């Protein structure tokens, strides 16, 4: 990963309380796992930003190295890597995600 790609990822994560690196956009997810994440965040009714990794190959590869996580989507809340679709579903189902999001948005 180039220093420029790392800086771009750093800025996106710092500038957005909830940042999702996904396939497609929040209005048109391009895979089921990305759609799961979007649906969960929409259900919570919280603001979040997305970046379509399909339109940016350097970010698509760089984000995997950045997080040391091999799959997309990747969710960051308050600058912290949370995980992908499976982790988001688990956290949503046990109530942990709602708490994490509330704390992030209050800070």
pLDDT in tens, the chain (107 residues): 899 999 999 999 999 999 999 999 999 999 999 999 999 999 999 999 999 999 999 999 999 999 999 999 999 999 999 999 999 999 999 999 999 999 999 98
Residues in the chain: 107
- Could you tell me if residue 76 is inside a domain? yes
pTM for this one?
0.95
Nearest to 72 by CA among 87, 85, 56, 57: 85
DSSP helix/strand/coil, 77: strand
Query: How many distinct structural domains can be found in the chain?
Result: 1
Q: In CATH, what number is assigned to the domain containing residue 88?
A: 3.40.30.10
Domain encompassing residue 81: 3-102
- Could you tell me if residue 107 is inside a domain? no
């Amino acid at each position: 990963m180039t220093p420029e790609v790392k800086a771009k990822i750093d800025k996106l994560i710092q500038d957005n309380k909830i940042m999702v690196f996904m396939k497609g956009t929040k209005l048109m997810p391009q895979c089921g796992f990305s759609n799961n994440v979007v649906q969960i965040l929409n259900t919570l009714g919280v603001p979040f930003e997305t970046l379509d990794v399909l339109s940016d190959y350097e970010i698509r590869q760089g984000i995997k190295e950045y997080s040391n996580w091999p799959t997309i989507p990747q969710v960051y809340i308050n600058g912290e890597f949370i995980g992908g679709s499976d982790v988001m579903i688990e956290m949503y189902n046990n109530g942990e995600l709602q708490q994490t999001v509330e704390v992030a948005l209050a800070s």
